[in-house]
Structure 1
């Protein structure tokens, strides 16, 4: 399986040399940082069953719109990530209706805890978006509602235009790598 990670051009070589880095839920919570929409991990785009959107193009456009928002004059980069092809990898598919149902039930039980965590988060752009799904996912994993996956994925909507819009209809599939040991290789994608 291949997926694509968009970032600033200056981050590409250090990632290729030293691998990705990300904070886990405990550290994010302790530092009052907002958890990303699908929880902690390395965010990438991968093929979906429709084949409409190109995951490498989605990664580049994401980087241009978000990672490079304060340095518009600097180039962006994309890294192609190969995931090991083995049955030992635990995958959590949030497009599966059964997983969706379990997460909806978990929200009912965890909403007060989610709200309390959110109230403590530093005030920044991520907090203003108020997408609490990542907190919900991390708490559900922490409470063993879901086994801690190596990777998870979901069809999502990523705003890629000049207007930062929202939509209920996905335009791609995000794959989040939570266990870096599942990465088989990384290469820079040429512009």
Structure 2
């Protein structure tokens, strides 16, 4: 099977979310709200003790980040990422990441906060296209770091793309306002 590209995953994410009524009236002023949803997914990952469930929550972080990228500027994420890394790190690395999970989650929160600061402190005279590019570039860094942690948590025999495709399939069948996203 051919690996799906980031552009494919992001486009599918936005299409499914639009069909479900999520983000259909998006404006840039909602970026902080969408970033808060990403923070909540990181927190949910922290609260999970099952590696499979934790990986699923980290997949949700990536899905939300991809969706926000598409809302900010459709297709732009493909300029920064092509596919998700699928090779699991060696066991000692995976164990070290699992052991230091608080530090990694703090880093994910910090990256999400950096996107918010980039948005909040964008110069008023800066062209919107430049701001959009910087925000999507920062979200790409968040996706890469989240995927690195996810690779250490996911069950053997699965890939991040498989996991995200499963999340998208569930969202496709879920419908509007499933108890999570409200914007």
Q: TM-score, normalized by length of structure 1?
A: 0.31
Q: TM-score, normalized by length of structure 2?
A: 0.32
- Please identify which structure carries the higher strand content: 1
